[in-house]
């Protein structure tokens, strides 16, 4: 395989990763890391380094559009980033010394648990005023309904969501996935934020979380420009088209995409980690 073909394949795969990451709030890493490690045999730490750079690109490519449309809750995202960045730095230090097969198994396990949690029974989200802490921090907001109106929502269980975001940050630094899955689930199921708001706010947050740990990977030499360049370009293109699609997409359809992608890739990573192929 020539370098040109190799670059083209990575570019195409990264485009798909960026599209899915933008639509679901996953950040694209759940596709990029299995693609690089399983298809091309790239060391998982180098794959994580490229993924973190791509996560930053995904956030940059889609967050602007979401903020402009009024979907992202900026105040909520900035508050939760305190937890995610702290956890991301810790996770990046742990990843340097953890065995690669163990990282692969943890990666797959976390994705399966995230997918299962996404389908736990939950009530329909009413227009509530939110918890007292959310009111004091001014975290409640609204988002467009697509018909010229606005839906108002309140934020619940602020500290529960904050704690989950710390774990999401650790996994981001450890696994390089942006941990958008846990961010979405924390906001969607714990804090009771509408799904479109949780995915778009996750996209806004993951770039900052990834940047907190990417510096450590760069210092250790785990970010390879020859791999990272096509990954970033592909993810940016996919993230742009994903942001255009999401504004008119239906939440149930996004949940199906979210679940199918996560389960397939999670099983592959666990299998290859257990058998020592990674």
Convert the pLDDT of each residue in 107-136 to its tens digit.
788 777 766 665 554 545 545 667 788 888
User: What average pLDDT does the structure give for the chain?
Assistant: 78
Which tokens in the block code for residue 132? 């007292």
157-173 confidence digits (pLDDT tens): 899 889 988 888 887 78
Instruction: Give CA angle at 119 (241, 192), nearest 5°.
Output: 80
User: What single-letter DSSP state applies at residue 146?
Assistant: S
pTM equals 0.70
Instruction: Give the torsion sign (CA, 64, 70, 75, 77).
Output: negative
User: What is the pLDDT, as a whole number, of residue 80?
Assistant: 92
Number of domains in the chain: 1
Range of the domain at 93: 3-274
Q: How far is CA 150 from CA 67, 173, 207, 218, in A?
A: 15, 36, 27, 43
């Amino acid at each position: 395989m020539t370098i040109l073909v190799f670059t083209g394949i990575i570019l195409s795969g990264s485009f798909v990763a960026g599209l899915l990451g933008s639509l679901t709030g996953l950040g694209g890493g759940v596709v990029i890391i299995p693609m690089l490690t399983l298809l091309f045999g790239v060391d998982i730490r180098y794959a994580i380094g490229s993924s973190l750079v791509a996560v930053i690109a995904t956030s940059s490519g889609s967050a602007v559009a979401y903020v402009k449309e009024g979907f992202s809750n900026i105040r909520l995202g900035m508050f939760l980033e305190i937890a995610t960045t702290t956890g991301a730095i810790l996770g990046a230090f742990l990843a340097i010394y953890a065995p690669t097969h163990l990282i692969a198994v943890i990666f797959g396990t976390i994705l399966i648990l995230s997918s299962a949690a996404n389908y736990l029974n939950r009530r329909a989200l009413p227009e509530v005023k939110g918890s007292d802490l959310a009111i004091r921090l001014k975290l409640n907001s609204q988002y467009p309904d697509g018909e010229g109106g606005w839906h108002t929502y309140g934020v619940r269980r602020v500290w529960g969501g904050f704690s989950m975001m710390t774990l999401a940050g650790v996994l981001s630094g450890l696994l390089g996935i942006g941990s958008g899955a846990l961010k979405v689930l924390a906001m969607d199921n714990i804090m009771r934020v509408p799904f479109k708001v949780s995915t778009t706010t996750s996209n806004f947050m993951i770039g900052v979380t990834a940047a907190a740990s990417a510096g450590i990977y760069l210092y250790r030499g785990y970010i390879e420009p020859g791999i990272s360049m096509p990954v970033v370009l592909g993810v940016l293109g996919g993230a742009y088209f994903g942001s255009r699609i999401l504004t008119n997409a239906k939440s149930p359809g996004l949940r199906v995409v979210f679940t199918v992608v996560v389960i397939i890739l999670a099983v592959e990573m666990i299998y290859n980690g257990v058998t020592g192929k990674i």
